[in-house]
């Protein structure tokens, strides 16, 4: 072991309060596993707009008690620098059901109260959207959720909300990161929670807090169904997460009586024993809830991810159940809400990689649609800025199963999305249609918007795909003319006739090719993995003589050709 690594290791061991992670590092030392130790001390787990997320383990590149304390200290330091009333407004903290989440949450509280900052912390596990709601409800300076959402069991995370109730965006992410770096140099002071409570710096949030969210959702005009036909069957799974209790209560409050929860996945369990990957988008993750739906002949098989900020649904189609894509759910909910909302509340939002169908639906309904970079941090913060007295925010979604209805929660909320979707379904059925007929009606008006994503794993010798595309921009893709190229890195959209428009989005390494007849290809690097992601869109007309299945099949064949030819054209 070289001397620099030895110094880093010894300094870390002196500060690490957790005997388990100290033992982990000492075992690596005894095994002379310098390669693994180098990995553990190769910088720090990066703090960004999504906060922290990583595998639990010892060392500064993993999630552990010391990293959490240093992160909390940096957050507190930044809040005290930025907000003169940070101490009194305080921070609300919640946590999911992962193995270390409760401990990491109380560690965060111990650090912040030691800085004199008031803390409100949930007494039990808490869905992520409730913390976003709680920031506004209490007028807090910030919010923290200890969660790794739908990542594998070995992960955990530290998600931060600003005082507006939305996830942090620049410059706050960089400011907090700088303060964390400063805090990591020193031993982090902590206060016992008993002392903090006695001094009035700590408040435990119990049933009254959860009830306030429940009542607020129940009072939303957008979530009031105009039909009494609520006897359809609904199967539900929390996917070993924290959503079941609130999901069942919200549905019961709305009058839905045939709700069947998957018992094996209802209670929080950080081991996630019945799913290989606790993400509703993954193959097999919805198997148990679909089986539950089939058992009771329920119409819908619904899921929240483990921290209940995402929503997924499969709908009965004949004798089987078919998953709706995030874009299909977004189109159905957007159409429903735009018809239901008052004329002054028709501002909707989506992202650059989600379907463009929502913008067409909004235009037809007299609304407005804005587009942001990927991530609900952008959808929420831009939505706040875009709304006005004449055009209030209504709805936003991203294709990765994230939705928010109204401005109760300025982040994706899988619980209110679940309720909105079920309410919508009840109204569609009461009108004598099926959800598939409703989707077909939308497609007949606007065309079938087909969207797919393909990820390319990068190898060390993979050429710079973005650089190659910028150097040799394609004129056609799969035989379709490129009408314009939007380069978010340069903030320019260049059209085929040569004129240029400025793009009003934050700089990002993204290329968007707008093709004829509504086609689109988006190429961007993954923010979390060594991958390039390509997002494809085609619009297939739904002709009067077509049935939906035949038109979808025709469009999917076109999509297969587009993907195959585009992938083959990328720099090798």
The residues assigned a catalytic role are 149
Helix (H) or strand (E) holding 174, with range, is helix 172-183
* 487 Cβ contact partners less than 8 Å away, ≥ 6 residues apart: 470, 493, 494, 503, 510, 511, 512
Give first-to-last CA distance, the chain, whole Å.
Answer: 39
**406: phi > 0 → left, psi -120 to 50 → alpha, else beta; which?**
left
What distance in Å separates the CA atoms of residue 438 and residue 40, rounded to the nearest whole number?
52
CB–CB of 278/267 below 8 Å?
no
Pure H helices in 341-462:
357-364, 376-386, 414-430, 435-446
The Cβ of residue 199 has, within 10 Å, a number of other Cβ atoms equal to: 12
Cα-Cα-Cα-Cα dihedral sign, residues 357, 358, 363, 369: negative
Task: Compute CA distances 147 → 97, 124, 247, 342, 490, whole Å.
Answer: 8, 13, 19, 36, 34
* 109 Cβ contact partners less than 8 Å away, ≥ 6 residues apart: 93, 119, 121, 193, 196, 202
In 3D space, the residue among 267, 259, 265 whose CA is nearest the CA of residue 237 turns out to be 265
Main-chain phi, psi angles of 374, to 5 degrees: -65, 150
How many alpha carbons fall within 13 Å on the CB side of residue 311?
27
What distance in Å separates the CA atoms of residue 467 and residue 473, rounded to the nearest whole number?
10
Q: Dihedral (C-alpha) 465, 466, 472, 474: value to the nearest 10 degrees?
A: 90
- CA geometry: angle at 516 spanning 514 and 520, to 5°? 35
CB–CB of 365/446 below 8 Å?
no
CA–chain centroid gap for 404, Å, is 11
**73: phi > 0 → left, psi -120 to 50 → alpha, else beta; which?**
alpha
Q: What is the DSSP letter of 1?
A: -
């Amino acid at each position: 072991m070289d001397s620099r690594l030895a110094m880093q290791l010894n300094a870390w061991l002196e500060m690490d309060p957790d005997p388990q992670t100290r033992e982990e590092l000492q075992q690596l030392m005894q095994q002379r596993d310098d390669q693994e130790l180098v990995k553990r001390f190769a910088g720090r787990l990066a703090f960004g707009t999504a906060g922290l997320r990583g595998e639990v383990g010892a060392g500064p590149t993993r999630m552990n008690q010391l990293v959490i304390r240093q992160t909390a200290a940096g957050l507190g330091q930044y809040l005290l620098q930025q907000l003169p009333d940070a101490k009194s407004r305080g921070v609300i903290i919640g946590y999911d059901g992962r193995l270390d989440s409760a401990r990491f949450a109380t560690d965060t509280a111990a650090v912040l109260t030691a800085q004199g900052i008031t803390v409100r912390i949930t007494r039990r596990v808490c869905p992520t959207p409730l913390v976003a709601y709680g920031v506004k409800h209490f007028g807090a300076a910030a919010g923290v959720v200890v969660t790794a959402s739908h990542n594998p069991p070995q992960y955990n995370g530290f998600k931060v909300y600003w005082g507006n109730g939305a996830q942090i965006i620049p410059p706050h992410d960089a400011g907090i990161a700088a303060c964390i770096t400063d805090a990591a140099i020193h031993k982090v002071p902590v206060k016992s929670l008993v002392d903090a409570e006695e001094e009035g710096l700590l408040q435990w949030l119990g049933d009254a807090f959860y009830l306030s969210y429940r009542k607020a959702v129940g009072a939303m005009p957008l979530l009031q169904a105009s039909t009494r036909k609520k006897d359809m069957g609904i199967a539900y799974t929390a996917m070993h997460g924290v959503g079941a209790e609130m999901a069942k209560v919200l549905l019961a409050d709305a009058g839905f009586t045939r709700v069947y929860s998957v018992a094996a996945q209802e209670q929080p369990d950080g081991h996630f024993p019945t799913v290989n990957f606790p993400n509703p988008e993954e193959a097999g993750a919805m198997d148990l809830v679909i089986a539950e739906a089939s058992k009771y002949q329920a119409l819908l098989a619904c899921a929240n991810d483990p921290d209940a900020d995402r929503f997924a649904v499969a709908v009965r189609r004949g004798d089987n159940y078919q998953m709706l894509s995030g874009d299909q759910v977004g189109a159905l909910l957007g159409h429903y809400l735009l018809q239901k909302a008052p004329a002054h509340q028709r501002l909707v939002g989506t992202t650059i990689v989600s379907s463009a169908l929502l913008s067409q639906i909004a235009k037809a309904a007299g609304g407005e649609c804005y587009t942001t970079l990927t991530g609900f941090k952008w959808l929420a913060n831009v939505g706040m800025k875009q709304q006005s007295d004449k055009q209030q925010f209504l709805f936003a979604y991203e294709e990765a199963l994230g939705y928010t209805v109204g401005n109760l929660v300025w982040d994706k909320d899988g619980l209110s999305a679940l309720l909105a979707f079920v309410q919508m379904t009840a109204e569609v059925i009461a009108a004598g249609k099926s959800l598939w007929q409703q989707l077909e009606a939308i497609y007949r008006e606007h065309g079938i918007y087909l969207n797919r994503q393909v990820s390319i794993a990068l190898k060390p010798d993979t050429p710079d795909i973005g650089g190659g595309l910028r150097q040799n921009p394609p004129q056609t893709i799969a035989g379709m003319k490129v009408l314009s190229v939007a380069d978010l890195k340069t903030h320019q959209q260049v059209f085929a006739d040569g004129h240029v428009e400025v793009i009003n989005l934050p700089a990002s390494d993204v290329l968007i090719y707008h093709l004829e007849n509504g086609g689109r290809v988006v190429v961007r690097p993954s923010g979390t993995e060594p991958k390039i992601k390509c997002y494809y869109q085609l619009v297939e007309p739904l002709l009067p003589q077509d049935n939906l299945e035949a038109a979808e099949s025709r469009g999917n064949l076109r999509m297969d050709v587009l993907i195959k030819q585009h992938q083959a054209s990328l720099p090798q």
